[in-house]
Structure 1
Amino acid sequence: MIDIDGVYNSQNDRIWAVNRSEVDIKGGIQQKRKFTQKVMIWLVVCSKGVSPLVIFENGTVDHDRYIKEVLPFALKFDNKMFGNNWTFQQDGAMPHNHAKSQEWCGKNFPSFIDKDHWPPNSHDLNPLDHCIWNELAQAVKWNAVTSKETLIMAVKRAAKKISKDILLESCLSWTNRLYRLSQHKGDYLG
């Protein structure tokens, strides 16, 4: 979810600091409008690139909407990038874990990591969460974002600016991150 006030994910964003004043210096205090305009975005990230954005301007995404609007798009994009030799990974969001979504993925993707084999809250293993969302947010020209329409345009431009080197590095670090996470018994890597 991205709104015109910027990006902050209270579930995944962490600031490591010695004390509160250091947190504030690093951007720990975030001001938000009470009823801000926002959009939900979804994209595929892989070592070869970033997909075009799937943008949800209104409402939230349940499993039906995820199956109808997102999964066929992911299948088409990934088949174009990799042919039939790729694995689909998603996080633990409720629409992703729904039985019908899991069934769709099992029937349509060449390979995918189902909810029973993916650790919950695994942001350290998801390139989007540990790297790419930040790159996207840094590339947005926030001073030009004044409405939902300008937000959508700015996010689309920002997604095109994410460097292929960052994508490749983020994806290549996956096995190392998996090993480190196992050494930390699933705790955050920091």
Structure 2
Amino acid sequence: MKSIDFQNIVLSKYQNGDTPTKTFHDLNGGIGLRTIRRWCQMILQSGSITLSSPPGCSRLARTKGNIRKVKNRLRRKKRVSAQKLSMELDISERSVRRMLKNDLGLHPYKKVVEPLLSDDQKIKRKKFANWIRTNFRKEETMRILFSDEKFFDINGVDNSQNDRV
């Protein structure tokens, strides 16, 4: 429910003679009791619920226009860092990251580098699997722990945290 819907419900209940506490219980905690009491005071004074401005600070960087600029920039060229975007659009890097994550629903994708198996290695693996199937009984295989986890480091130390898309 939107705030306007809550305001209309509180207004109608107050005009019907319900107390703020009863209205709070009827709304099942959907809105705070203090807010309902404040709104009832506004109704008593002015006859309606008039909020001067939405609560909280106004947005300076994450405006709809800036979000549209970031979205259009990503359409032109997909692979661009948040740092380069912030420099191009003259917005702080943190604000650009918030726009990408919260407003546009984009997340960094971490590339997983896996070593390629040669045809010879694939043949050897199949031979080993067939050999295990023919030479061992089920009871004997239950005592063997097979693990396919191995960290391959071919080109020196690689920090995958730095390799994002």
Q: TM-score, normalised by structure 1?
A: 0.17
Higher relative contact order (CA 8 A, sep 6+): 1
Q: Which protein is richer in helix relative to its size?
A: 2
TM-score by length of 2: 0.18
Max radius of gyration: which structure? 2
